[in-house]
Amino acid sequence: LTPMQKVFNYATEAVDGFAAYFYKFDELIEENIALRERVAELEKQNYDAAELEERSAWMSNFLEMKTQHTDFKMLSASVTGRESGNYSKVLTIDVGTGAGVSLNMPVVTSEGIVGRITELGYNWAKVTTIVEPQSSVGAYIERTEDAGICEGKFELSSDGLCQLSYLPAEAEAEIGDRVLSTGFGSVYPRGLVIGYVETVGINEYTRSPDVTVK
């Protein structure tokens, strides 16, 4: 019987080892599921923290702008639609006549001018941005106070640029100069940021500065 007992013993050990293997495998699966749930929980916490930080920064900038421009009556809005491409020429926002919005009202962010209201309904409005061709705003270079007109140009709009025209011949614009709205002959109040000088050249016909603003 001894040989048969050995075979039976080996078979029993093999079955025990096989069962132990599946037991450990089940443990690993449960541990893997628990770890995935923990990772998902931590990712959500991280996302919530980033969203809260972003919202806090937005509120801080918004309040700073209200402090700088106490004469403004502001209404917050969110972008709900935009054209495809690097720089949208027309945006849709989620406020309209029901909130007191009317045509040609300026639209701004804490960083400066976006554009103006050109079409609207009860709870929506279309915003034509300042890079749209035919858009224009009275502008001046903050450092030198040289005034001109910032205009949207078709060939520049895809790069988010405007042309700063009608500057005095002696104007000395430099790359990085901040360009603000003059408030004259425009829907935009004085002192709003339009952008920053991107390139400076000389117009070969008028010999006046040829400046682009980003």
Residue 11 CB: number of other CB atoms within 10 A? 10
116's torsion region: left (phi>0), alpha (psi -120 to 50) or beta? beta
Q: What is the mean pLDDT of each run of 10 residues along the chain (214 residues)?
A: 59 57 71 84 80 67 65 85 72 93 91 91 93 90 93 89 91 92 84 93 81 94
pLDDT at 21: 61
User: What pLDDT does 92 receive?
Assistant: 93
The C-alpha atoms of residue 23 and residue 115 are separated, in whole angstroms, by: 66
Q: What is the pLDDT of residue 42?
A: 84
Q: 107: closest CA among 130, 131, 133? A: 130
